[in-house]
Each structure stands twice: as structure tokens, then as C-alpha cells.
Structure 1
Amino acid sequence: MSDQMSRITLARRPEGAPVQDDFKLETGALPEPGKGEVLIEVTHLSLDPYMRGRMDDAKSYAESLEIGDTMTGQGVGRVLKSNADDFAEGDTVTGMTGWASHATLPASVLRKLDGSVPASTALGVLGMPGLTGWVGLHKYGNPKAGETLVVGAATGPVGSMVGQLAKSLGLRTVAIAGGEEKCRIATETFGFDAAIDHHAHDDAKSLRAAIAEAAPDGVDIYWENVAGQLIEAVLPLMNVHGRIPICGMVAWYGGDNIAEENQLPAMWRSILVNRLQVTGFIIFDHWDEFPEFLADVGPKVEAGEISYLEDVAEGLENAPEAFIAMLKGGNMGKQVVKL
């Protein structure tokens, strides 16, 4: 076993979209686990859009990273050393390891994986993204058979979960994705009734026309994780008493156009006139529902009733490049880094 570890740190705060120079690869001594802790050799890392917000020095629902901190994130790995009764060498576990080859964490914040499905699923379909889709749709989407749902980033781990759950409940599901291949995957792999390539539309008006054609009865639920041009396109199509769960706005994570005043009055009026229910939620407020989520969705994933895709980057040193590409829609499915 090597006595060295590697990690990716925040080298500087991004100005707009992150670039390579905002990250730094560092090496150092292997950490030693304290009492009640375990030493983990990380095998897979999760890359998620929320990490972009942690790179800024701005008030949010979680503390910002400091310059020099290890980039935050969930990982999966093997226990190398254990000073905790419930974990043994060789166990496969998941926890907030950060972007690092090794991590020491308290046993209380780790979950042991049983091997019934690939360990990497704990980062996506059976992890935080899957839970986000499951909680948000049921609790804030209030889906009803016969309704129509539109979801952006539909082939990602959250959007694909939302679409598949909604379809199983009898809704018409419309995917918004970037590119012909993603649209094909949305319908063929994830079962969406229709898929629209937003790259084929130069403005919100054109995109709105395409959505209206795919959703002739209007939109009852719009799953908001993209914002930008898509929210402009969808809002006028919302039915009375429609619901909009908001879990992200990746199009605005670089700070561009986040407060274009000319858009706000029209958007606000749509919310009023159509009596929309718009609910922002943060999944970290719902961790107590994780066991119920696993009990419901776990067997369906194991049986192949819920599909998932993973886009795997190789090597810790390539995590920044994969993260930058993901924020621009360059991933195909859940973005994972294999160490």
C-alpha cells in the first residue's frame, strides 16, 4: 500500500465558468484514521453541478470551499484500515470523500454497500441524484395519471429518474436534451414519450413551439434543473395549477444572465395568472427519506425496471476536465470518475 495520496484542491475562485487553472492536483502523506474512523481507498468519485456553487464565496445553503480545500464530493471506495466496530478491511463504503484518492471519515457518516448492484450506482441512480428526483417528483410535483411532465437535462441522473418515475405513474413525459444522440437515449433507454433537442432551437420562442407540439394538452409539471432559455420557453405553456419543483439552474451557475430584469415581469405574471406552485428544494433537507427511497427504487434498479447511464472519466487528474465538460452538457448520463 502506497503511503501517498492525491487530491484536487480549489486553486482559485472561478470567474464565470470554471477552467483548469481553478483546480490544482496535490500529493501528500496518507492520512491515518483516528478513533471511530476508517481509511478509505477511493475507487469512484461523483461529479455534480452543485459543486460549482461551493467554489464561490457567496452565501448559500452550504459553506463555500476555501482556497486550498479539497474539492467536495461523494465517493465510493474500499476500507483499508478501520478503527470502528462496524467496518472491516475490504468493506465497500460510500461517503463524502472529496476529490481524493484516499480519505479518513468517521464511521457514522459512511454507508456500507452490499454488492447487489455496481458500487458506482451509490453516486447516481441510488445516490443523491436519484433521491433528488424521487423526493422532488413525489413531494413537490404531485404527479397524477394523464398529466404531462417536461424535464430538462433529461438523460442526466436526476432528469432520467424523474422521467421514468413519472412514466410509471401514467404521465406523458417530454424530455429536453442536448443533441440527437441524447434525444434518442431519452426515448429508447429512459422511455420518454417525446424528446426535443434544444440545440436545434436558437431562441425561447422556437423551443416553446417544439414543446407545445410535444405537449398538446399543456404542461402540468415542469422539472426545473436547467433554467436559462428553457424556463422562458416552458412558463407560458404551464397549465392552471401546474407545479414547478426547482432543484437546480445549471445554465446560470456561471452567473450569466441570472437577473435579466426584462424577463422577470413576464415570468412572475405567468406564475400568478396560472396559479403555479413553484417550490425550490435542497435534497440535503431530505436525507431522512433515503431509506424509504432505497427500499422503493433499489429493487427496481436491480431488476432492470429503472435504467441508468454512467459517463466514466479515468483518473483523478482528469476530474476537472470532466467537471468543466459536464457543466456544459458534455456528459452522457451520470458523470463519474474512476480512480
Structure 2
Amino acid sequence: MTEFNRKIVLASRPAGRPRLTDFRLEQAEMPEPTDDQVLLETIYLSLDPYMRGRMSEAKSYAEPIAIGGVMVGATVAKIKQSRHPDWKEGDIVVAYSGWQSHAVSDGSDLRAVDPAVAPISTGLGVLGMTGFTAYAGLHNIGCPKAGETVVVAAASGAVGSVVGQIAKIAGARAVGIAGGAEKCAFVKAALGFDAVVDHRAPDFVERLAEACPDGIDVYFENVGGHVWDAVLPLLNDFARVPLCGMISHYNDDALAKRSVDRLPVTMRDIQQKSITVRGFMNVEFIEQQQNFLKAAAGWIADGTLKWREDIVDGLQNAPAAFIGLLEGRNFGKLVVRISPKQ
């Protein structure tokens, strides 16, 4: 039977919240590897908030996806065919092959996955980009000290859940912010945070203050919006804020349209309290990735580092799952299982 490559491409640029019609499922001929290339068969696809920015033509750190281009994304794949001296058929790797069932790689973007360490899907989460993002931002910018209070937004998510656990390993007090009773219970009971606050609660501001009686020394920013507004007054002198993302604003048509200008108050507090706010991309610290993977594998082995995955089956369901991710409907690291037979 003839095999085809199934792929999801960008059909149109979204205005605000993406719609299903902004994506299109296509079928193409199976790619053929040439010398020093491998053919990848996707097993798992990672869905992450940064992809929303790549759908836009707005100036960013990376080129936008072209209309008709394959949606970008990290994958865990099996090498189906190899003409590369360093990779053999059957190897399991992390790649950056996007929203498609098959892809060709020259091997330079591949990282081997050891199935003996943890389920291979974790190569996209706790042992992948999101886990390393948590480690890089907290280790290099947050720099938590024993006894300090570390607060993390989206604490049940792929990045936030790892941030809090690494903070605990460093001897700090971890306070999570999550949405809904189920997610809050998971953060407290399963992940072992010292406290967790529901940002949907009507008295969220008061509850966050109660959970941080000594103020906040490190705030790992993932969401922005009303969560940032509640955190800012609690930041201590010389607090550090690793700025990882602002997911509550990713569907905004234009940030300048907001009715309230928060910048003057924010900048005043940053200046008066000598607060460090540092945006970052994990690639800035890529030389630390192997150190992270070694440490994380040990934490997983001894039960210190835990994770949760939200797995969706079928490439065709990736657009709806991605839209839900931007609205906070996922619970844990969102992964699409492309090849259930694996």
C-alpha cells in the first residue's frame, strides 16, 4: 500500500483567537532521504504556546510560518529509513519536524531518546524543551536561594510544574498559581508545592498575599494579565523575574488597545525595588542542556521530579487541541500522538 505524508499547514493568519479554518490538513508524497539524511516517522508532536506567535507576521525572534507552510513544532520520532552514518533505523529521536507524519532530516537537529529513562513522550516535556526552559530560566535568572519564596504562574503546566519542583530542590519555598480546583490539587498533592492559589477565585489577590507572607523573591512569569497585577505589589526588593511567556495576551489583536496602561506602575515598582525582569529564550543557555538532562534523569529516577501529560490522539485533532491550549483547557504537557501503533 502506498504511504503518504500527512501534514497540517497554516491556511490563514489568525486575527485574535485562532480558528479551525486557519489550519488545513493535507496529504503529500512520502519524502525520500538522500545521502546523509534520515526519514522520520512522527510518534508524538509537542503543542506549545510559542506557536501562536509563529502564525503571525509580527516581528519576532523567528521567521513566521508561511501561508501553506507546515506548522512548526518539536516531535519524538522513529527513524524509518537511514542513509546517515550516525543514525540507524529504529532509533528514537527528538526532532523539530513539525505537524506532519513524516519528515526528512540531515541529522543535525536530532537528539537521541533513551526509552529506559522515562516514556519517550517526555522528550517533549519534562526531558525536553519545556523542562529545559524551566531549568534555564530559574537557574540563570531566578537564582533561588534556600528559604526564599518562588512563585510560578501556570504551575500545573509543562514549564511551571518543573519550575516549582526545581525550586524545592534548591531549598526554596514554592508557591504555584493555577486555574481551577483540580489543577490546584495536583500542584499541591502530586507535585509537592508548599502552597497553591487559584487565579479564578474571586479573592485571588488576597489569597496570594496570604500564601506569600514574606513577599516574593522570584516570580517565574508565564501568563501576564491579572496574575501579574496581583504579583507585582508582593515582589520584594531585589526580586528576580524570569519572563518566559505571556500566554494570556497571545490572542490579543494589539496590546496597545488595552484600556488601562499598566506600564508606569510596573516600571515605578521595578525601579524603586531594584527588581530584575529578564526575558529569555532557552537557546541562550543551550550549552547547559546536557547538564539539565543528566540532573533531570536522576531526579526522575529517585522520584523527586514528577510530570503529567495531556495526550490527544490523531494529527487531525492538533488544531483544536492547540486552540484549547491557548485557553488553558489542557492539563499538563500537551502532546499529540501521531502514530498510535508505536
Match of 2:316 in 1: 317
In 1, Cα distance between the equivalents of 2:200 and 2:169?
28
Residue type at the aligned position of 1:38: V
Q: State whether structure 2 residue 125 is matched by structure 1 residue 124.
A: yes
Displacement of 1:284: 2.1
Displacement of 1:147: 0.7
Q: State whether structure 2 residue 277 is matched by structure 1 residue 278.
A: yes
Mapping 1:105-184, distance limit 5 Å? 105-116=105-116, 117-184=118-185
Mapping 1:25-36, distance limit 5 Å? 25-36=25-36
In 1, Cα distance between the equivalents of 2:219 and 2:26?
42
In 2, Cα distance between the equivalents of 1:147 and 1:250?
26
For each residue in 1:180-238, what CA deviation from the matched residue of structure 2 results, as whole angstroms up to 9, or x when unmatched?
A: 0000000011111111111123xxxx432211000000011111010011111100110
Q: Of residues 217, 239, 258 in structure 1, which corresponds to 2:214?
A: 217
Secondary structure of 2:159's aligned partner: helix
Residue type at the aligned position of 1:85: P
Secondary structure of 2:60's aligned partner: coil
In 1, Cα distance between the equivalents of 2:38 and 2:200?
46
Residue type at the aligned position of 2:24: K
Q: State whether structure 2 residue 58 is matched by structure 1 residue 55.
A: no
Match of 1:247 in 2: 244
In 1, Cα distance between the equivalents of 2:78 and 2:198?
40
Mapping 1:17-32, distance limit 5 Å? 17-32=17-32
Structure 1 regions of 5+ residues with no counterpart?
none
TM-score normalised per structure 1:
0.96
In 1, Cα distance between the equivalents of 2:12 and 2:253?
19
Displacement of 1:312: 0.2
In 2, Cα distance between the equivalents of 1:324 and 1:108?
31
TM-score normalised per structure 2:
0.95
Residue type at the aligned position of 2:169: S
289-298 or 95-104: bigger deviation? 289-298
Displacement of 1:334: 0.2
In 1, Cα distance between the equivalents of 2:222 and 2:233?
18
In 1, Cα distance between the equivalents of 2:93 and 2:150?
35
Secondary structure of 1:45's aligned partner: strand
Percent identity between the two aligned chains: 47
Residue type at the aligned position of 2:33: P
Displacement of 1:17: 1.2
Residue type at the aligned position of 2:152: V
Match of 2:291 in 1: 292
In 2, Cα distance between the equivalents of 1:59 and 1:35?
36
Match of 1:9 in 2: 9
Contact preservation (8 Å) 2:15, 2:253: no
Residue type at the aligned position of 1:50: Y
Displacement of 1:106: 1.0
Cα 1:297–1:225, aligned 2, differ >3 Å: closer, same or farther? same
Moved over 4 A (4+): none
For each residue in 1:280-307, what CA deviation from the matched residue of structure 2 results, as whole angstroms up to 9, or x when unmatched?
A: 0011222221111111112212332200
In 2, Cα distance between the equivalents of 1:262 and 1:113?
46
Residue type at the aligned position of 2:263: L
In 2, Cα distance between the equivalents of 1:77 and 1:53?
25
The root-mean-square deviation of aligned C-alpha atoms, in Å, is 1.2
Displacement of 1:257: 6.7
Residue type at the aligned position of 2:41: E
Q: Of residues 203, 208, 220 in structure 1, which corresponds to 2:205?
A: 208
